[in-house]
């Protein structure tokens, strides 16, 4: 479970594959978020309270709009359940930790991991290797990142 930064909302994950958002003043259910295909193991709010992250036994992380409950993106890459999710204090980096022994940091100032990887490729002037692409994007046949010269 996790409280929103303003303390008005409590998020909970459960074995029924759902994330629930509760009003703390009333104790009443505000909304239910669906999409995980197995138990929701962990939830966390971004420091500004705009994004809610959930990690599940399905090996995925989902980022939701906290106000609307709309799914923003589903992140894959873990090969086992996601046990922990958290944001950096500045809200720009999101980290997930899984039972696969991996910790996966992601720059969420971009709309998706592929966008972040393109920015990194430009900065280091090289393409990602197949192993690096697989590690950060998960299995994605046909995705090819090239060196970008600006």
Which residue spans of the chain are classified as CATH 2.130.10.10? 2-108
Of 106, 148, 112, 108, the C-alpha closest to 128 is 148
What long-range pairs does 17-22 form, CB within 8 A, spacing at least 24? 17/56, 17/58, 19/43, 19/52, 19/54, 19/64, 21/52, 21/66, 21/69
- Give the whole-angstrom CA distance, residue 52 versus residue 105: 16
The mean per-residue pLDDT over the stretch 23-35 comes to: 96
pTM: 0.72
Question: Residues 85-136: pLDDT tens digits?
Answer: 999 998 888 899 999 998 988 877 655 566 667 777 787 888 878 777 766 6
Tell me if 81 sits within 8 A of 94, measured CB to CB: no
Q: Which CATH class is domain 2-108?
A: mainly beta
Q: Work out the mean pLDDT of the chain and round it to a whole number.
A: 85
Average pLDDT value for residue range 45-56: 95
Number of Cβ atoms within 10 Å of the Cβ of 112: 16
Task: Give percent above pLDDT 70 in the chain.
Answer: 83
Tokens of 53: 């992250």
Cα–Cα distance, 85 to 76 (Å, whole number): 13
- Asked whether residue 142 carries a pLDDT value surpassing 80, the answer given is no
CB 92 within 8 A of CB 109: yes
């Amino acid at each position: 479970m996790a409280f929103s930064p303003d303390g008005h909302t409590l998020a909970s994950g459960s074995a029924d594959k759902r994330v629930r958002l509760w009003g703390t003043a009333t104790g009443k259910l505000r909304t239910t978020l669906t999409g995980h295909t197995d138990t929701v193991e962990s939830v966390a709010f971004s420091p500004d309270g705009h994004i809610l992250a959930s990690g599940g036994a399905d090996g995925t992380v989902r980022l939701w709009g906290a106000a609307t409950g709309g799914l923003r993106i589903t992140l894959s890459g873990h090969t086992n359940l996601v046990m922990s999710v958290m944001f950096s204090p500045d809200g720009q980096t999101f980290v997930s930790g899984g039972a696969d022994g991996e910790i996966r940091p992601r720059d969420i100032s971009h709309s998706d991991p592929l966008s972040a990887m393109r920015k990194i490729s430009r900065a280091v002037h090289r393409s990602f290797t197949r192993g690096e692409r697989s590690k950060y994007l998960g299995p994605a046949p046909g995705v090819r990142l090239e060196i970008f010269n600006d």
